[in-house]
A and B are shown apart, each in its own frame.
Chain A
Amino acid sequence: EVQLVESGGGLVQPGGSLRLSCAASGFTFMNYAMTWVRQTPGKGLEWVSTISGGGGTTYYADSMKGRFAISRDNSKNTLYLEMNSLRAEDTALYYCAKAQRGYNKFDYWGQGTLVTVSS
């Protein structure tokens, strides 16, 4: 059974940093691209970033470029999202998701970890 478990969310001040993790199991992690998608409370989904199975290729939404960094450790079956220079508008529930095939469709999602940026 595929499982994705996010962790690392919490309360952080504006300008601060946070590192999210996503522990994966139930599939051959290195064979699939992985992504982060966020959801503002009560609002819609927003794609954040995607990384290839080998970790050599990354993609970011324009508003996250230069502030967020996606990475993965295939030996630990874990996906990461390093978030810097956080803003109030980054407050959201952050989901990690497994790509089904390719990079643009996601067949398994975690339950999310909540990031709150506030002073």
Chain B
Amino acid sequence: QSALTQPASVSGSPGQSITMSCTGSSSDVGDYNYVSWYQQHPGKAPKLIIYDVTNRPSGVSNRFSGSKSGNTASLTISGLQAEDEADYYCSSYTSSTSLIFGGGTKLTVL
């Protein structure tokens, strides 16, 4: 099964809001509310920032929010900060392979 589709890169200026997408199919994103988002800084392990589409783990800034419409999930980061520059990966439960990741989006803070 192919990876979930994410844009290769997005960018924004400090203080702005950005939204990145994660597109799957009716067998994964569209059929289950089990989409997660991970932030990964260079040389570091991924960090869970959103789970079950909209939920934030304790300690994660409320500047991060998630949503879903049909087969596409989205991550929005408001009040962009320099420290948000990182790679972001979505994942979804899928009935056929259990779990699938997106290809990742590189966020650049201008």
A: which residues have CB within 8 A of B? 35, 37, 43-47, 50, 59-62, 95, 97, 100, 102-107, 109-112
Contact = CB atoms under 8 A, between A and B. Distances in A.
A35 B100 CA distance: 13
Do most interface residues of chain B lie in helix, strand or loop, or is the interface mixed? strand
Contacts of B45: 95, 109-112
B18 interface: no
A45 B57 contact: no
B104 A45 contact: yes
5 contacts: A43-B104, A62-B97, A104-B34, A107-B48, A110-B45
Nearest to A112: B45
A104 B55 CA distance: 14
A46 B46 contact: no
A69 to B, nearest CB: 16
Contacts of A112: 45
